[in-house]
Amino acid sequence: MENLPEDALIARAREGESDAFVEIARRLQPKVYAVIYGMTRNREDAADLTQETFLAAFRTLRGFHGDSGLYTWLYRIAVNRTLNFLKKKGREKNVGEFDEQRTALDPREQASGSPEGGSLKRELGRRLEEAVAGLRPAFRAAFNLVAVQGMSHGEAAKVLGCSENTVSWRMHKARKMLQARLKPYLREEDDAT
C-alpha cells in the first residue's frame, strides 16, 4: 500500500478497504496534527482532535467526491473540529505548553553566532509562540495554515470555507497583531545587537 498513489488509496478506502485508509492516515497524520497543535497549543488536545478528524473522515469518506484534494478536505475537517473545540472549551485566551518538538516557528534551528544570539532567538521564539497562541481562533487558523503549513491563500480559503480575500485579510490582521505584540521585544533585540 505504501507505493500506491493517493487516488488509488482513496478509491480503495471508499470501497471499504480499511488498510487503504490506514495508509492515508499514516501519510497525512503528521501534517494534520501540526495544524491542530498550532491552533490548540496543547499536545494531548491535538492528539485527540487528530484522532477525531480521521474518525470523522473515515465515516464520511464515501461523501468525498474529489472536488478538492484529500489534503484540503482533511484539513477542513481538522480546522472545523478544532475551532468548535476551542469555542466549546473557551480556550481562545489560554497559552498552551511550549512544544520542544515544534520546528516551524522554532528559531533554535537557525544558526546563531554567539550564545547571546541563540538565547535571544529562543526568547523571540517563545514570545512568538505566545503571541500566536493569543490570536483569536480564526486568525490563528489562517496564520497557521499559511505561515506555518505553507499553504497559499487559496488553499487556506478552501480549508477554512471562506474566500481567498478573507484569508488575506485575516493574515494581514494577524501579522499586525503579532507585530504589535512583539514590538517591545524586537526593539530590545535590535538594541542588543
What pLDDT, in 10s, does the model give residues 155-164?
899 888 899 9
| Co-location of 7 and 83 in the same domain | yes
| Co-location of 77 and 133 in the same domain | no
List the Cα angle 28/33/36 in 5-degree steps. 130
| Co-location of 140 and 86 in the same domain | no
| Co-location of 120 and 191 in the same domain | yes
| Co-location of 142 and 88 in the same domain | no
Sign of CA dihedral 98, 101, 105, 109: positive
| Co-location of 15 and 87 in the same domain | yes
List the Cα angle 74/78/83 in 5-degree steps. 150
What are the CA-CA distances from residue 85 to residues 46, 82, 158, 163 (Å)? 10, 5, 20, 23
C-beta of residue 20 within 8 angstroms of C-beta of residue 12: yes
| pLDDT given for residue 132 in this prediction | 87
Task: Decide if 100 is inside a domain.
Answer: no
Domain with 29, as residue range(s), is 1-93
Task: Decide if 177 is inside a domain.
Answer: yes
Grid coordinates of 49: 482532535
**pLDDT per residue as tens, the chain (193 positions):** 788 888 888 889 888 888 999 999 999 999 999 999 988 889 999 999 999 999 999 999 888 877 778 888 899 999 999 989 988 877 444 444 333 333 344 443 444 455 666 676 777 778 888 888 888 989 999 998 898 888 899 989 988 889 999 999 999 999 999 888 888 776 654 555 5
| pLDDT given for residue 44 in this prediction | 95
Task: Decide if 25 is inside a domain.
Answer: yes
CATH of the domain at 172: 1.10.10.10
| Co-location of 140 and 71 in the same domain | no
| Co-location of 58 and 119 in the same domain | no
Residues 171 and 183: their CA atoms lie apart, in Å, by: 18
Grid coordinates of 69: 484534494
Residues 45 and 43: their CA atoms lie apart, in Å, by: 6
Q: How many domains does the chain have?
A: 2
What pLDDT, in 10s, does the model give residues 54-90?
999 999 988 887 777 888 889 999 999 998 998 887 7
